[in-house]
Structure 1
Amino acid sequence: MFAGMATQQKQSTIDAATVSEYLKLVLNATNKAERESAEKALAEMAAITVYAPTLVNLALDKSVPFHLRQSAAVNLKNYIDKYWSSKEFNFVGPEPSAEAKAFVKSAVLVGLSDSESRIRVLMATTASKIANIEDLESWPELFQSLMSNLKSGAPDQIHGSLRVVSSFVDDISETQFAHIAPILLPQVYEIFANQNYNPRVRSRAISVFRKFLETLQIVEKSVPTAVQEFLLPQLPTWMHAFHQILAPMDISNEQIIFKTEIFYVESTTIEYLVSKFPGPMKPYFPETFQLVWRTGTTLFPVYKATTITTSDVDAVEEVDTDGDVMGLNSLLFNVFAIIGVAAENKGMDAVFVGTDDSNEFLKALVELGVSFSQISDGQIESWEADTNAYVQEEDETSPSFSMRYSITMLFDQLTTRHNLRFLQALFTAVPTLFEAAKRDSITEGIKSGKVSFDFNGFFEHVIQECIKCDSCPLLQGRALVFSSIFYEYIPTNQISQYINAMAAALSSNALSCKIGGLRALSQLASNSTLYPYFTQSIGNIIESVCTMAPSATEDLLLMLLESLVPFVKVDEALVTKYEASLIPLLVAIWTRDPEDTLVNVCVLNVFTTLSKNKLMFDALQVRLLPPLSHSIGDANLMTTQPGVYSNALMLLGVLIRGAASPLPLAYMNTVFSPLIQAMVTSIDNGILQEGQDCLQSMVLKDVNSVINWNDGSKNGLSYILDIIARLLDPNSDESSCLYIGSLITAVIKKARTSITPILPQLLSAIMSRLATAKYTQLIQTLLLVFANLILEHGSVAIVNFLGEVTVNDGVGQQRNGLNLFLNTWSDYYDEIMGFYNLKLNAAAMATFISQSGSDSRVTAVLVKGGLLLSADAGIVTRSKSKKVPDQYQMISFPAKAFKLLLKDYQQNRESAMKGDKAAVDELTGDSVDTEDESGEWEDDAAELDEAGDWFEVDGNEEEDDDTDPDLINNDIYNLKMTDYLSNFVKTCVQNNGVQFGAIANQILDGAEKKILASILSI
């Protein structure tokens, strides 16, 4: 097919036989070396311009064995990513010639009609990749060929073309959309509505329709009439077809498979229509919902017969050509997904609660949901055979996807929208399963009297009987967990009895009962107010966990380790009695599989908790420090098992942070020297990261011992500075120094006198690293070094220093240090993470502007302001964004700083508000709809009070922060940011700092001016 073209090329030529031979070598390789050798040869051929045409010829040649055709098609697909265009991120090169590209594009279009579905799919993927790289205008034959295939009536051609269409629809401009949509959508509908095509082809047509809807939503922003022009004329026919498919209640296997094929895509399309286009969907959704509801109720007898009481699921399941499982469960998942969408829609409230608040439908829905969520015989057998499967299934934080999980998600949606009405329906329908709802909502509803339920009677007559039911361990376990969730309703004098029952369950022969007891105890032990009730049982609980852990694996082991964290906190004096068994057990688990990250993290969490127990720490230190010293001194371990070595460093860090200050001599005498050697020589990122953490902790704990340590060549501080210099080298791996800023700040803070002479060199090295840094985390840690210096020493010295520094930006350009720093700071100000770091960042910028905002060197620095949008910009597609990078207004740094600090003030202000417009109605759970068209679903929208009360504290003060306590400036930590930033702004206005008036009038946008006005009005 490509004969003659090769003779025109200057490069070496290849033929199909040569390429075919190397493809065979890759497929038939018996070891890694053979495969890599053949792959290298193919990579060398890729530089020859006829390589891609040769691949496509092989892929489409029906005389070639299928496995080679498929291999050629896969290689062609991968070739596009690396060679097709030099503008692509993954480009390796060289690009094929224009003639070769034209040939490949023409051949790929032919391949969309191939009789082999896997070849067809690969050709479609290749065509999509090319279309996403090039503009559609540069490949006009593509759309013409696709339309021809879609009109052909040939299933193979339609299948391949639909795949391509669905991939490029989201990358067309509004102009292209206006031309393509009226032509393509009707044809796609014809395919969907044609019952002669198989369900997979028809569902693919629905997916194209869904893609058009997504693009339409974007187009509507620039063309307000787009919905009226393109959706409203099409919607009646599509919805009519959807209803025709949903209406038949035939429950044969064939109908279930068919409905699943269509429903799989249709349900997400309906969901998208309802959420994004509520106005146009208003006439259709009630009928859609009724059909979906009927489908769910009709399928329950089938589900019960094939899933709950037997395990004959295969009778109603098939795997389609894309590997998706089509069958009863898949169909039901989608049914409940659409019901969930309806539950969240205010326009459907009358359906769920009734016009007279009778809640009849809610009650029926709850009964159906609970019926579907029953534990099946097959599940019980599976759990009895595999404990880890049971633990994973019941894990609330990472449950496996199942029918019961699907129902739980639906119940969560109902709780959010209909709150107490739903909970009352749940209690009325099935009081034994209402733990699926949210505990806080239940508690609040019962305490307020708006939900009626006899908890005392329920615990006395139901829960206690369930706990005693030895013949049903699953029920026992559930009853124990339920007791821990709603312990507030247990009489105070009975709490110890329940805890003792939970502890006794740990000795049960039934694992489901053991696991229920363990979950319940862990839940209660996490509440420090309940510690007194554990007095009689905590010792037995810890012993039971220690007994179960050695033989536990995977999910059960993780659960046991996680439960130890709250258990060892209950009685710090008592837990010391178990250190002889507890610590060796944890070490054994830790060393049993050192590469298991999840287990190591859990073990480390237990050790961290124990290290905070002053009564336990000496024993912990005595048992752990010697083996850790041995491991860290093992150079062979460092090179052969770097993961194990970095884990040892991680545990060493736990000990250092828990140790006394100054550090015991053992740390400097046994671990400091090998730690330094590892940090000087290792190239493993894990070792370098954990080593930095250890060094930081040692400097903060005992900097004098670090300075006084000497190996005859250098002292400890000099070695640490060498390590910092190594990590700051722009040629080193960024991943190795993501937290280097904390170590630098610790050194500067603790070694003030010793560090002063070399501080300029250190800051210059930081700037060199900052100039080339790509990772946000690294940039953040380096910026915060300067933020700390600004707050501690003022900004004037920083401006003077950076103003004289010149930095290489990594691409051969020299940049002024002050310009680089201020541009980077303004670009990444919003990327700073962590409760303390956010305050530190804002306070440093406010201080900088207060002290140096009028400095001519600072006002001369221009940074990115707002994004500039041209009037004819339209939709920014992938291809357009590659050709036209974003353009920004350039403004002075002080102006950008004010914009950032005003935004910071507003975010802190909103976080501190006690009530707002999204508040949930106390009875119904209704929240304010934010969709522009939400009013179309209700005739009378309630007016909401926009006024809100204020909290005294900032809203984010409850967030966790992992900043080392010794690095925290308490004055900054305790700042009330709204007050601080408000005072800063008022001071600037009063003093007209850095010509504040000009900035306010010329640079601030409308929203920022409103924020400013609100500050000045206080």
Structure 2
Amino acid sequence: MESSSDLRSMIEQTLTMIITPDQQLIEKGQTQLQALELLDIYALALTEITIDTKRDISVRQLAGVLLRKYVSKHWTKDIENFIEPEVPEQVKSQIRHILPHGLNEPNHRLRVGLACVISAVAEWDCPESWPELLPFLIESLKSTNKSLIHGSIRVLTEIVRDLDDRQLPYVLPLLLPEMYRLMVSNEFNLRIRTRAIGVFTLLVSLVHDINEHDRILSVGYILPYLSHYCEAFKRFLIAPDSSLMTDTGCRIETIRALTLLFKSFPKLMQQNAAELLQSVWTCLTSNTENYVATVVYKHGEMDASVDSDGETLSFECLIYSLFEFVQVLMDLSMYKNSVKSSMEELCYYLILCMQITEEEFDSWSKNVSRYVEDESDDSFSHSVRLSALELLMSITSEFKKEAGIGLWKAVHRHLSHAEALKAHNSSRWWKLHEACLLAMGRCKQLLNDMIVTGYVKIDLEAFIRQVPLADLSQFDYPYLVCQAALFAGRFSRLLSIDVNRIFLDGICQLLEHAQHPIINLSSLRAFYYYCEEVGVDQTNDVINYLPRIFEGILATMSRIPQSAYIWPLESLAILISVDENFVSTIENRLSPLAIELFVNYVQDPLINGETTAIIKGLVHNSKVSHLIQERLIPLVQSIVDNNSVASTLPRIASSLAFSVLDLLTTVLRSLNPPINSNLLNQTFPVVIHLLLTSDDQQILINGGECLCAFLSCVSTDLFSWNDPKTNISSIEYILQVLAKFLDPKTPENCCTFIGKLIRGFIREINKTNQPSLLGDTLGQILKAVLAKLQSKNNEIEKLV
């Protein structure tokens, strides 16, 4: 049997093979390594190789990587993705003894890797099996070895989160002064000092967690150190980067710490609040200006870095943290007035952050779908622009009067500045215009209220003529044109007929002549807002523009990818609700388009929802209802008949037949009787066929709902129907369906509609005043229902 030293030597030789450029040796080494992983001492050998400074650094780094990976899979059987073998307890003990000595490793990358291994082991073993680790780490912070301090604080960052209430009284008095010392000392680099702030923040969160159990105790923990930390935080927030006292990453961590302190201990923070809030404000204003210069306009150096955990430390991250801090202040009654008193300035800087960045400009220009995704009212995208907008809307919701006045004053300042820039031939003016229109447009309801009550003195028509309508002709700045159109559409309810006509004529011209598809998309969205604001029953002025807008929709959809269809389709859905007579002139183009879109994108929930809405609108239109019903027949038949649909229309996959049944249900519930006889004759048998023959759960559920729709919407026509092929009546078919789904053997999850179907069937039969249609089947139905219920009770009893 080979000795342990021989095995260690073999492992080291194998690692050496893997780092060579020879592909054959690499493959041989990897094969040997798979066998060596099964040895009990494998993890211990990797640990010893990793911390041995006499060995080759490349071998040590590879050993460290393999050790980290091995620990994550084999350390304990409690690991989620555990793989045999588990590291033996004796070997674990040896590894725990050796690992901390690696924290003073001079090589940064290797030290970070070892710190990660220690953190991974500590997650399972500390403090029960590794009680000496925490005291070692705390004592190491007092060392003069900066590598050891860095490694120790990295581990502390991970294990502090898992401290419990019993450990806190021991740890807090030791760690809080040490974190402060590291944080303010110029002897250490900014990353160590920033990590010290992070550990402090973690400790505060732990203290807050026990706050509910023992408030006095928690306050006693934090109070002795609070003023010292607050004083340091003020310096970090306002010191220039050139002082080497702080940088963006340090400020981010400082704002996070203050956010938690104010949120967790608002009363304790009152003593230091005034100076701290002033420091935060200084940080917000100066870094917003830096953000605008380096991110919005890409002038100057980007102050962005990535820490050793891979977290980006940039102006964007700092702005997000500052916004979160402001939101916390708003949620605290004792600090809410500090936000209210700065409303105009806050709105001013939020609008600065809403400007389109160069990166967004490039991204949207290359990908119109990204533009639609980012700029939708219910966008899930994440950006400084959208975060600033979200905070502004939160502010306007909380401080309506003050926010409305402050917003208008801030907009007025920006527009004045934009005019000065424009006069000096600076292209920066358009981004300010666009951001102001975005802010005002999204806060439309508040500004409407402010204008009505007189708190804000705005001649809205004059403003719209001078700013957004004038901006519609700025084709050199397409995103300004987009926002101008959207703004005018949002405020159309408050505008005169003449101004709205100028707006409608403007967006039609954009649809016909704009070169950039983003302008077309925004013009259609502006039309959608117009119809929403004015109301489709009060849009007589728009009727003359409908042909141009319809052609604009079709032209736009031909220029954009499917992922950007949502805005044109929403515009089309609202267009067909404006004027029935116009819709009748385009039905021969619109109906086939809607059905084709439904078939092609049946699996896209957004497009499917809008095409269904369009078809529903056509069915509801008395002038074209019978025509669209006729066109839908081949689509429904296609889910059971391979030869029933023209070759120009793609077939619906059988697995998606439930979507067609869902569409048919919507159609039935939308139409005004009488139903197109062909639709009834051709589609009712399809539904019955699927219900009686299919075992697909979704088809059975949707088919059942569709049958209920036939009963509730067109029962008069339905009960007089007979299958021409078999002479079986609709009532007999329905009874067959009931018999199938009331059969105790039919799975419960397929029968969710059965109660509704029985009630609807009996109700509609009674309406005919011909109860004899049921014959003696009512008693049979009731017996079947009781049998079904009895089988269900038996199943429940079995479970009990």
Q: Normalising by structure 1, what TM-score?
A: 0.61
- Paired with 2:624 and 2:12, the residues of 1 have a C-alpha distance of 72
- Paired with 2:89 and 2:70, the residues of 1 have a C-alpha distance of 16
Q: State the shift of 1:189 in Å.
A: 2.5
Indicate the residue corresponding to 1:1016 in structure 2: none
Q: Deviations over 1:887-927 (max 9, x none)?
A: xxxxxxxxxxxxxxxxxxxxxxxxxxxxxxxxxxxxxxxxx
Q: State the shift of 1:245 in Å.
A: 1.6
Residues 373, 404 of structure 1: 8 Å contact kept: yes
- Paired with 1:461 and 1:186, the residues of 2 have a C-alpha distance of 60
1:580 is aligned with what amino acid?
Answer: N
Equivalences for residues 349-748 of structure 1 within 5 A: 361-375=342-356, 380=361, 382-398=363-379, 400-431=381-412, 433=436, 434-435=439-440, 438-469=443-474, 472-492=477-497, 494-511=499-516, 512-526=518-532, 527-553=535-561, 556-589=564-597, 596=604, 598-610=606-618, 612-613=620-621, 616-627=624-635, 629-631=637-639, 645-659=654-668, 664-670=680-686, 672-673=688-689, 679=695, 688-689=697-698, 691-699=700-708, 701-702=710-711, 715-717=736-738, 720=741, 725=745, 727-728=747-748, 740=750, 742-746=752-756
1:265 is aligned with what amino acid?
Answer: E
Equivalences for residues 52-91 of structure 1 within 5 A: 63=56, 65=59, 68-69=62-63, 72-79=66-73, 84-86=76-78
Residues 340, 410 of structure 1: 8 Å contact kept: yes
- Paired with 1:613 and 1:21, the residues of 2 have a C-alpha distance of 78
1:275 is aligned with what amino acid?
Answer: K
Indicate the residue corresponding to 2:768 in structure 1: none
- Paired with 2:151 and 2:573, the residues of 1 have a C-alpha distance of 55
- Paired with 2:262 and 2:94, the residues of 1 have a C-alpha distance of 44
Q: State the shift of 1:674 in Å.
A: 5.6
Indicate the residue corresponding to 1:261 in structure 2: 249
Q: State the shift of 1:231 in Å.
A: 0.6
Indicate the residue corresponding to 1:783 in structure 2: none
Q: State the shift of 1:365 in Å.
A: 3.7
- Paired with 2:731 and 2:121, the residues of 1 have a C-alpha distance of 62
Higher mean C-alpha displacement, 597-606 vs 551-560:
597-606
1:692 is aligned with what amino acid?
Answer: I
Residues 373, 407 of structure 1: 8 Å contact kept: yes
- 2:187 match: secondary structure: coil
Residues 108, 123 of structure 1: 8 Å contact kept: yes
Indicate the residue corresponding to 2:305 in structure 1: 318
Residues 263, 334 of structure 1: 8 Å contact kept: no
Count residues with an aligned counterpart: 721
Q: State the shift of 1:278 in Å.
A: 1.0
Which blocks of at least 5 consecutive residues in structure 1 are unaligned? 8-12, 355-360, 636-640, 681-687, 729-736, 767-800, 809-814, 816-1018
- 2:638 match: secondary structure: helix
Residues 480, 517 of structure 1: 8 Å contact kept: yes
Residues 615, 667 of structure 2: 8 Å contact kept: no
Judged with a 3 Å threshold, the aligned counterparts in structure 2 of structure 1 residues 539 and 129 are, in CA distance, closer, same or farther, namely farther
- 1:243 match: secondary structure: helix
Residues 546, 575 of structure 2: 8 Å contact kept: yes
- Paired with 2:72 and 2:636, the residues of 1 have a C-alpha distance of 47
- Paired with 2:184 and 2:59, the residues of 1 have a C-alpha distance of 37
Indicate the residue corresponding to 1:223 in structure 2: 214
Judged with a 3 Å threshold, the aligned counterparts in structure 2 of structure 1 residues 336 and 217 are, in CA distance, closer, same or farther, namely closer
- 1:484 match: secondary structure: helix
Judged with a 3 Å threshold, the aligned counterparts in structure 2 of structure 1 residues 333 and 667 are, in CA distance, closer, same or farther, namely same
Identify the structure with bigger relative contact order (alpha carbons < 8 Å, sequence gap 6+). 1
- Paired with 1:593 and 1:149, the residues of 2 have a C-alpha distance of 62
2:278 is aligned with what amino acid?
Answer: Q
- Paired with 1:675 and 1:6, the residues of 2 have a C-alpha distance of 72
- 1:442 match: secondary structure: helix
Residues 423, 451 of structure 1: 8 Å contact kept: yes
Q: Does 1:182 align with 2:173?
A: yes
Q: Deviations over 1:288-309 (max 9, x none)?
A: 222233334445665554444x
- 1:407 match: secondary structure: helix
1:525 is aligned with what amino acid?
Answer: C
- Paired with 1:587 and 1:66, the residues of 2 have a C-alpha distance of 64
Residues 306, 312 of structure 1: 8 Å contact kept: yes
2:252 is aligned with what amino acid?
Answer: Y
Q: Does 1:165 align with 2:156?
A: yes
Indicate the residue corresponding to 1:835 in structure 2: none
- Paired with 1:805 and 1:375, the residues of 2 have a C-alpha distance of 60
Higher mean C-alpha displacement, 164-173 vs 286-295:
164-173
Judged with a 3 Å threshold, the aligned counterparts in structure 2 of structure 1 residues 455 and 561 are, in CA distance, closer, same or farther, namely same
Which blocks of at least 5 consecutive residues in structure 2 are unaligned? 416-435, 644-649, 670-674, 712-717, 762-777
- Paired with 2:256 and 2:788, the residues of 1 have a C-alpha distance of 55
2:181 is aligned with what amino acid?
Answer: E
- 2:224 match: secondary structure: coil
- Paired with 1:98 and 1:5, the residues of 2 have a C-alpha distance of 20
Higher mean C-alpha displacement, 182-191 vs 335-344:
335-344
- Paired with 1:121 and 1:85, the residues of 2 have a C-alpha distance of 26
- Paired with 2:796 and 2:336, the residues of 1 have a C-alpha distance of 65
Residues 115, 156 of structure 1: 8 Å contact kept: yes
Equivalences for residues 991-1002 of structure 1 within 5 A: none
Larger radius of gyration: 2
Judged with a 3 Å threshold, the aligned counterparts in structure 2 of structure 1 residues 423 and 805 are, in CA distance, closer, same or farther, namely closer
Higher mean C-alpha displacement, 333-342 vs 288-297:
333-342
Equivalences for residues 824-835 of structure 1 within 5 A: none
Q: State the shift of 1:469 in Å.
A: 4.9
2:660 is aligned with what amino acid?
Answer: L
Q: State the shift of 1:590 in Å.
A: 5.0
- Paired with 2:36 and 2:630, the residues of 1 have a C-alpha distance of 62
Q: State the shift of 1:806 in Å.
A: 2.1
Residues 207, 265 of structure 1: 8 Å contact kept: yes
Judged with a 3 Å threshold, the aligned counterparts in structure 2 of structure 1 residues 102 and 17 are, in CA distance, closer, same or farther, namely same
Q: Does 1:283 align with 2:280?
A: no
Judged with a 3 Å threshold, the aligned counterparts in structure 2 of structure 1 residues 553 and 151 are, in CA distance, closer, same or farther, namely farther
- Paired with 1:761 and 1:115, the residues of 2 have a C-alpha distance of 78
- Paired with 1:75 and 1:456, the residues of 2 have a C-alpha distance of 66
Q: Deviations over 1:654-684 (max 9, x none)?
A: 113423789823235446546765535xxxx
Q: State the shift of 1:545 in Å.
A: 1.1
- Paired with 1:726 and 1:132, the residues of 2 have a C-alpha distance of 49
- Paired with 1:186 and 1:147, the residues of 2 have a C-alpha distance of 11
Judged with a 3 Å threshold, the aligned counterparts in structure 2 of structure 1 residues 469 and 589 are, in CA distance, closer, same or farther, namely same
- Paired with 2:38 and 2:63, the residues of 1 have a C-alpha distance of 21
- 1:175 match: secondary structure: coil
- 2:313 match: secondary structure: strand
1:509 is aligned with what amino acid?
Answer: A
Q: State the shift of 1:397 in Å.
A: 1.9
Indicate the residue corresponding to 2:194 in structure 1: 203
Please give the root-mean-square deviation of Cα atoms over the aligned residues, in Å: 4.7
Residues 489, 527 of structure 2: 8 Å contact kept: yes
Q: State the shift of 1:142 in Å.
A: 2.7
Q: Normalising by structure 2, what TM-score?
A: 0.76
- 1:452 match: secondary structure: coil
Q: State the shift of 1:262 in Å.
A: 0.7
Higher mean C-alpha displacement, 278-287 vs 338-347:
338-347
Residues 248, 303 of structure 2: 8 Å contact kept: no
